[in-house]
Amino acid sequence: MLNSTRNFVSSDMETAPLLEVRNLSTYYVSASGTRIVRAVDDVSFSLRAGETLGIVGESGSGKSTLALTLMRVLPPAAQIVSGAMRLEGEDLVGKSENEMQHIRGKRIAMILQDPMASLNPLFSIGDQVGETLRQHEGASRRSAWQQAIGLLKSVRIPAAETRVTQYPHEMSGGMRQRIVGAIGISCEPRVLIADEPTTSLDLTIQAQYLNLLDELRKEHGIGLIFITHNLGIVAKMCDQLVVMYAGRVVESGPVRQVFNAPAHPYTAALLSSIPRMSNRRKRLIAIDGQPPDMSNLPPGCAFASRCPAVFERCRNEAPPVFTPAPGHTARCWRSAPEMAGSVAMSVGALS
């Protein structure tokens, strides 16, 4: 792990971000070392207390690998190769595994996308929900079970007193997802990462679950990172938005600003692909082509082969980060100062 000691914490601690990520890169390396996949490449963002950050992008864009990197639970083939992560000013990249065990679940927690991958079929629900409380709060098994009942009730699971004695296979997919959520919020972490937490929930439970996460954010001032494909949820839940493509952040900024004036053609394409009830006779807009091979990225912009606004420079030279508006960034040559206004025209062609 390289370059993990960079100091970028604000001198004004009262306004310092709760979580700050700078130039973070995580690569998957084959056993022979000949194949390198840049799953997370030079990613930067910040999250403040009480704020919700949405992370969107197609499957394979690096969203989940970024979440696993923040939690420091990467598979053996993956490694952090550069950059820094700070939680309340404290470096996470340089922490040992033993130190991270005291941080995970207590100060930073994650709700995984697939509940069956995170629930142990051999242990009861009460033991699994209570495990974090016993680990970090020193609760007895009896006390942890009582708190587990309250947590299950908070995520709208009926007959919680009975459910704590059951096992994951006895639950529906939606119940398992809510149980994973109960585990994530059990110790009231400072940062909560939710990776597609509503995938297996019906619309009614989804709304209740989202309201629960939002209430937790408001009441305890936690920072919430919401990874999703659903831009409707982003519009409802999030304050800030990060758009990822091919492992990189291609656009970021306040949700309202990004939705109203997308500065990257990929963001504009994602927004244009949302079905609109008022346009029933119009065909859905799809993004042509496929994401690039992450182990063999093109020399220029990774989106160039699919971009309706591409020009020659895009194919040959990777764009740096531009700032089309205060707090709003984009990796697109059409956001360069000398091309101001060209993105808006190209976006109009998508709709």
pLDDT in tens, 213-249: 888 888 878 899 999 988 988 998 999 999 999 999 9
CA–CA distances in Å: residue 9 to residues 21, 46, 91: 10, 11, 10
- What pLDDT is stored for residue 253 in this prediction? 96
- What pLDDT is stored for residue 177 in this prediction? 84
**Residue 69 to residue 74: CA distance in whole angstroms:** 6
- What pLDDT is stored for residue 87 in this prediction? 95
**Residue 301 to residue 336: CA distance in whole angstroms:** 14
- What pLDDT is stored for residue 139 in this prediction? 84
pLDDT tens-digit readout, 158-206? 899 999 999 999 988 788 888 988 898 888 899 999 998 877 677 877 8
- What pLDDT is stored for residue 341 in this prediction? 54
pLDDT tens-digit readout, 92-150? 999 999 999 999 989 999 988 777 778 899 999 999 999 888 888 888 888 989 999 99
- Bridge-based pairing state of the strands 90-91 and 108-111: unpaired
Nearest Cα to Cα of residue 258 among 177, 325, 331? 325
* Average pLDDT of span 58-73: 93
Q: Tell me if 119 sits within 8 A of 180, measured CB to CB.
A: yes
Name residue, tokens 């690096």.
Answer: 62
Tokens of 54: 């949405």
Burial class (CB in 10 A: 0-12, 13-18, 19+), 325: middle
- What pLDDT is stored for residue 322 in this prediction? 94
Q: pLDDT-based confidence at 336, cuts 50/70/90? A: confident
**Between vectors from CA 47 to CA 93 and to CA 103, what angle results, nearest 5°?**
40
Q: pLDDT-based confidence at 347, cuts 50/70/90? A: very low
- What pLDDT is stored for residue 328 in this prediction? 96
pLDDT tens-digit readout, 287-322? 888 899 888 898 999 999 999 999 999 999 999 999
Torsion angle of C-alpha atoms 79, 72, 92, 89, degrees rounded to 10: 130
First-residue to last-residue Cα distance in the chain: 44
Tokens of 149: 């009942």
Q: pLDDT-based confidence at 340, cuts 50/70/90? A: low
- What pLDDT is stored for residue 181 in this prediction? 86
- What pLDDT is stored for residue 92 in this prediction? 95
**Residue 267 to residue 334: CA distance in whole angstroms:** 13
**Residue 206 to residue 192: CA distance in whole angstroms:** 17
pLDDT at 3 over 60: no
Q: Average pLDDT over the chain, rounded to whole?
A: 86
The pLDDT > 90 percentage for the chain reads 53
Q: pLDDT-based confidence at 5, cuts 50/70/90? A: very low
pLDDT at 37 over 90: yes
pLDDT at 156 over 90: no
For the chain, the structural domain boundaries read: 261-348
Q: pLDDT-based confidence at 350, cuts 50/70/90? A: very low
Sign of the Cα torsion 145, 146, 147, 148 reads: positive
Residue 259 phi/psi, 5-degree rounding, is -65, -40
pLDDT at 349 over 80: no
CA–CA distances in Å: residue 243 to residues 55, 116, 152: 6, 28, 33
Q: What is the 3-state secondary structure (H, E, C) of 253-277?
A: EEHHHHHHCCCCHHHHHHHHCCCCC
